[in-house]
Structure 1
Amino acid sequence: MAVKEIQVFRLDVGEHFGRLTEQEQRYAHHMARAAWLGARIILSQVSPESPAIFDFILELHRACGGKWQTLAEAGHISSEDLQQFLTYAATFLSNIGNYFGSGDQKFVPGLSDAALRKLACISPKLTQLYDEISPAISAIPPFSLGFPSATTQSSYYLGALTPQEITSVDRLLEQQSIFPENTRLQKPADTTTGGTTSTPTINILVASAQTTPPPTPTRLPSTIPTTKANIHLCKGDHAAPLRAICTELSLASAHAATEAQRTVLRGYTASFETGDLHAYRAAQRAWVRDITPRVESVLGFVEPYRDPAGVRGTLAYCSSIIFPGINLPNYNDIRQEVGFKNIIFANRMRVESQAKQYPFIDPAEAETFAKHKFPAYYWWVVLHEILGHGTGRMLVESAEGKYSFDINNPPINPLTGAPITSWYKPGQTWTGQFGDLATTVDECRAELVGAYLMDDPEVLALLGLTEDSEIRAEDLAYNLYQQLGVDGLRGLANFNVDSGKWGQAHSRAHFAILQCLLRNGDGVITVIHDKASRSLTVRVDRSKIRTHGKPALGTMLLRLHMYRCTADVAACRAYYEDLSRVDEEHLAWREAVLANKPPPLVFVQANTFLEGDRVVLKEYEPTVEGVIQSWAERMV
């Protein structure tokens, strides 16, 4: 889709940064630099053309000195086309690639190839860069990220890899106790010898600053019959940016507040240098134990949302998508044995309340909905992170004969009333077993926990919400159910009709929850669709929230929770795929959703600079020009 209009917001940090000590500011500066230097890794993870598009935008900024109107005045481009290019450039930079961070759909410039080529003619370097990105910058398909096909693409999987080969290699990694989060797979073109096609090679590219040793790839023994390939482990993927990141981490360590922080940074550095995720996991354990630091940060190959297989991580936290909150680490054994952290990004959440919204609430209730939306959303996110992602014990056989439960007296499965019959076997993980379902089911489960508790008087009283508070507890719960309806509908925008796949874990989760309430809530939520005006309206029956809505959510939550805890992949897939299936009626809703879709959000963020030993923070105007300037001055 061509991106024509956007909403630009600044994520303010100046007031809080000013409260830090000089040592804390210096530490924050180097940690921020380390994060931003990861942008080139993310670009390579998004699409083959993204790194060169990034360079094209910044080179054009350099060529005009950031004075964009001079390009129109000199006749290189019309004013209208210039605005379209700036809109595209800001969207690209905010998403760190040419696919939306939320939804994974490809977006293209809203101006012609001829107009772009006129810009490219400004300098030989721009011409060279444009030759690299054309026609990919404007090509549709691919429509979205996904397993490589005629309609989708993924830079996690390079070459003619099939989903079956990907699954087989992932099983091999599991057998070898090699974590996949910082890897990509590459299948070079087949070679022939004497007219006979040779056995294909699959390279497992490991992100590491080190490219040697070993001087040659490590051959992995394949014990999986379906893997008819020579499989090599190759270090050195993303080597240059990882070396730069390690340099900044070393500088940050000199200004760390505690030995615990220095331990974390040593672990990060060891992992980024060697590609060893065991070192990263040790750092994550230390990070969890570093409680309430004044400057919080996390960095690594963390979230697997953009991998169609659901196991390989995007580098965070410079990221293609900024969530309102996070709960980390993602390793469930660390969560259970050590703990976890919840981080709420309040500046990101405030933006959500200021942005244009989908018009799916009855106009008579729109003002009240807007008034209650932010507090309901805020506490929903808090409960989602703390009690959603923060609860749930996996039943695991970690080694032969070693269980996390009493195998002679196994727990009773509340879904069947009988003892459990499945659990995680040695080497198996949540993401490895559930694959493409893992992230969306986990997000759905966490959303359900928050939603289920949002009408609980005791919980709400702890949050200062009673029937006597300014915003009444009952009204907050009502607003939350309205949001469940709106979010379920707007999630359809991230369903790819061409591939039949969902493009975003949260969107699929929200739609599944809406379907649960529509099917099992006895009218607690209804959706009114006016085809003529292409409008949708969500109505909530306040009287049925506790009597019908809550039981429906509770049943869904229990099922997903038990499937996850007991590694029951087959039952989970059957249940969840049915709830998130998009039929003809939903496709008609989707057309109305797209017709009413507000412009996407674009964020401009601050930079820090060293002036001698002093750290200076610079914030930028919330404009397309401000977004581009911030990246040009970021020097990554």
Structure 2
Amino acid sequence: MANGKQQNAVPSPRIHQLSIQKVFDGLSQNERLYAHHMSRAAWHGTRIILRQVSPESLGIYDFIMELYTCCAGDWKSVANEVQITSNELYAFLEYAATFLSNIGNYYGSGDQKFVPNLNIESLKKLATKSPKLKALYDEIAEPMLSTPPFSLGYPGDLAQSAYYPGPCIISKDEIALVSQALEGRLVFPENTRIRRVESAGTTFEVLQASVEKDEISQEFPLPDSKGIVRMHRGDHSQELARICSSLAAASNYAANETQREFLAQYIESFQTGSLHAYRDSQRTWIRDKAPRVENIFGFVEPYRDPHGTRAEFEGLVAISDTEETKALTKLVENSATFIKKLPWAEGTKENDEKGPFEKALFEPPDFASIHTLAYCSSIIFPGINLPNYNDIRQECGFKNVIISNRMSAESKKGDVCPFIDESEAETFQKHKYPAYYWWVVLHELLGHGTGKMMVQESEHKYNFDISNPPINPLTGEPIKSYYAPGQTWTGQFGDLATTVDECRAELVGAYLMDDEDLLELFGYTDGSDITAEDLTYNVYLQLGVDGLRGLQNFNIDDGKWGQAHSRAHFAMLKCLLTDGGGFMTIECSPSEQRLLVRVDRSKVVTHGKPALGSMLLRLHMYRCTADVTECRKYYEELSRVDGEYLEWRKIVLAKNQPKWVFVQANTFLDGDEVTLKEYEPTIEGVVQSWAEREV
């Protein structure tokens, strides 16, 4: 499968089954019914995500589903009937499985377009199976097979974004102006898209996701008075109606009143388009402690919006594992101890030794190990911390989950990492999973869960002493900036918000991964099979590897990063290389197309950790004080790809490794009985699982 200009051939995907049968069998009949209807609600979001990815994604999805229907899953008969080779059929199925797993024709991780390793004539032959296929072929063939666009991003010659649909290109400045106009009217952007309309004047249509429709709900001028904004409700109306219907059905089997309350709030938000109702749902959802069946719904993550504020729909339904959660509970109970060891708390007695840039009370969050039953998203994350609204996190708390049956993919032996020396390859693989697991745990709990934003809440009300502002540890002077009323983290930091937030969380996890008391909680000491020092060393090796791998998601054509985490990982690598006193180096041999990460084990704590701590403190302070200017100056330089890094990128691309494709189960309702069906971890199994979802 190809994925655009200057990209080497992508190896066949590695397919991982998100196994769920064992934990599903432990549910009561009522819990199964709740899980089934919630899962149906999640999967009904598929077509919303497709519409958010690219203009052609819905048509490609329908083409794959129609072809499956025409042959009833008997793929060999298709090859014989339309006279294509088995290799050509395999190439199409490989593309189909990758497309379905990513819910669109751009990788969920990286946002790069991928196209099938199939010529247009073979695709045309497949389309002869039915009149519907022929009509879909005419619609999708050209955009499905062509590059550019190469990636998602601000609309232009090289990139596209379905958050800004239509033939009329909208500029960055225009997006910012419309966003400013929405913010001024307290309209949250997460469930919107913006379309530029050519008319007598400059008109921008804001498409708001809701079941209810109206031609124009509001009309107002842009801040510069050079155009108007028209609000249109009813985007994704049909899909949201199906989601609401399934949520209403699930409410009949809810375990408690809290679940019924947030389901009603979900429905109100999806019906009306109100994100104020959605924010209420998040406050209620946080109160649903330790549910047997957990969920995440809504327009959640803004990773794919180039402007950094509009969010992709997401639906997750999962089953908690009580035994696995016990180990996480231990960490949660001791959280306050480790927060005091973070750079902004070191050396202070204020706020119970946590300092002024940390919440006074760290409310122990709900932290569960869960197994996903239905995860409708372009990225299957290994861990999640929500809600994404920082004011709600500070006022009400948050939840963390580790998705165990997704994390298990990291324990697979797979290919040897090409960036680790052969002499270390075996031990790196042995230590990788436990190091990665606990790094993710710390990322979610103490990375996303810490910090206090300096906020002016109203005209004369602040959440800090404005007459005696706290001292900024970066400058030694009182803070000079903070969030004004109505301002938010994503609204102020825009395209930097998600990548800086993820980078900060990754840094917190890595920074603490040498703490002996912390590692002992996890069962790692000097005497364990994998020692505490082994685990720490592996994390730093992974920092180097992830930083190199991140380069594959940097687009040299427009100088933009395609993925928030990739940019964060590269910035961390660059920090360690430039500020780590030589403790980490990258050995590069262009002639042998080789890059190797070298870490001096003796300097991890003395040089590596201080470098990470310095970077972490900067990002934390920029974030807490709304200092966008300094953050942009620092982070853009640290994540700049030039000089030797461009040479490294070429080698990284030449070492392309298989990407994960996930196959998930389905539930079916027969009367009051719910049955579970799992599918083989094959490309055929992936396609069958989606066909049987009937969405």
Q: Does 1:605 align with 2:664?
A: yes
Candidates 99, 105, 109, aligned match of 2:116: 109
Cα offset, 1:465, TM superposition? 1.5
Residue 71 of structure 1: aligned partner: 78
CA distance in 1, matches of 2:556, 2:106: 16
Contact 1:219 1:230 in 2 (8 A): no
1:49-198 aligned within 5 A: 49-158=56-165, 159-188=168-197, 190-191=198-199, 198=200
1:358 shift after superposition:
3.4
Correspondence for 1:425: 484
Q: CA deviation at 1:4?
A: 5.5
Corresponding position of 1:512? 571
Q: Deviations over 1:244-266 (max 9, x none)?
A: 00000000000000100001100
2:220 is matched with 221
Match of 2:14 in 1: 7
1:352 to 410, 417, 420: 410
Write the distance in 1 (CA, Å) between the matches of 2:221 and 2:403.
44
Question: What are the Cα deviations for residues 109-162 of structure 1, in whole angstroms up to 9, with x where unaligned?
Answer: 100011100111121110000111120001100000001000000000023211
Q: Does the 8 A contact of 1:358 with 1:596 survive in 2?
A: no
What percentage of aligned pairs have identical amino acids? 61
Q: For structure 1, which segment, 486-495 or 459-468, has the greater mean C-alpha deviation from structure 2 after superposition?
A: 459-468
Matched, 1:257 2:266: no
> Within the alignment, does 1:266 sit opposite 2:264 as a pair?
yes
SS in structure 1 at match of 2:657 = coil
In structure 2, the residue matched to 1:319 is: 377
Q: How does 1:430-469 map to 2 (within 5 A)?
A: 430-469=489-528
CA gap of 1:445–1:626, structure 2 versus 1, over 3 A, is: same
Secondary structure (helix, strand or coil) at the match of 2:220 reads coil
SS at match of 1:74: helix
**Structure 2: runs of 5+ lacking an equivalent:** 4-9, 316-375
Name 1:27's counterpart in structure 2: 34
Across the aligned residues of Structure 1 and Structure 2, the Cα RMSD in angstroms comes to 1.0
Letter in 1 for 2:652: V
Contact 1:358-1:597 within 8 A present in 2 as well? no
Corresponding position: 1:340 with 2:398: yes
Q: How does 1:517-528 map to 2 (within 5 A)?
A: 517-528=576-587
Give the 5 Å matches for 1:536-615. 536-615=595-674
Q: Contact 1:457–1:473 (CA<8 Å) still a contact in 2?
A: yes
Which residue matches 1:407?
A: 466
Gaps of 5+ in 1: 192-197
Partner amino acid, structure 1, of 2:38: M
Look up the equivalent residue of 2:629 and give its one-letter code.
A
8 Å Cα contact 2:53/2:162 also seen in 1: yes
| 2: CA distance, partners of 1:288 / 1:218 | 32
C-alpha distance in structure 2 between counterparts of 1:379 and 1:606, whole Å: 27
User: What amino acid maps onto 1:348 in structure 2?
Assistant: R
Q: TM-score, normalised by structure 1?
A: 0.97
Task: Please say if residues 4 and 87 of structure 1, whose CA atoms lie closer than 8 Å, have aligned partners that are also in contact.
Answer: no
How many residues in Structure 1 have an aligned counterpart in Structure 2? 625
Per-residue deviation, residues 360-379 of structure 1 (Å, max 9, x unmatched): 11111111111100000000
Task: Measure, in 2, the Cα distance between the counterparts of 1:75 and 1:151.
Answer: 34
Residue 437 of structure 2 aligns to which amino acid in structure 1? Y
Tell me if the contact between 1:4 and 1:110 (Cα under 8 Å) persists in the aligned partners: no
Residue identity in the other structure for 2:93: L
SS in 1 for 2:295: coil
Question: What is the aligned partner in structure 2 of residue 194 from structure 1?
Answer: none
Deviations, residues 387-407 of structure 1 (Å, cap 9, x unaligned): 000001100112111111111
**4+ runs deviating over 6 angstroms:** none
Q: Is the 8 A contact 2:102 2:379 kept in 1?
A: yes
Find the aligned partners of 1:555 and 1:308 in 2 and give their Cα distance: 28
Match of 2:453 among 375, 394, 399: 394
Q: Is the 8 A contact 2:251 2:260 kept in 1?
A: yes
Partner residue of 1:329? 387
- Give the distance between the partners of 1:294 and 1:334, measured in 2 at CA: 24
Amino acid at match of 1:328: L
Q: CA offset at residue 75 of structure 1?
A: 4.0
The secondary structure found in structure 2 opposite 1:297 is strand
Instruction: Tell whether the 8 Å contact from 1:156 to 1:184 is kept in structure 2 after alignment.
Output: yes
One-letter amino acid of the structure 1 residue matched with residue 398 of structure 2: F
Secondary structure at the counterpart of residue 5 of structure 1: coil
Partners of 2:22 and 2:56 lie apart in 1 by 38
Mapped partners of 1:528, 1:103: distance in 2: 25
- In 2, the alpha carbon distance for the partners of 1:619 and 1:364 equals 39
User: Is residue 531 of structure 1 aligned with residue 590 of structure 2?
Assistant: yes
**Match for 2:432 among 349, 360, 373?**
373
SS, match of residue 532 in structure 1: helix
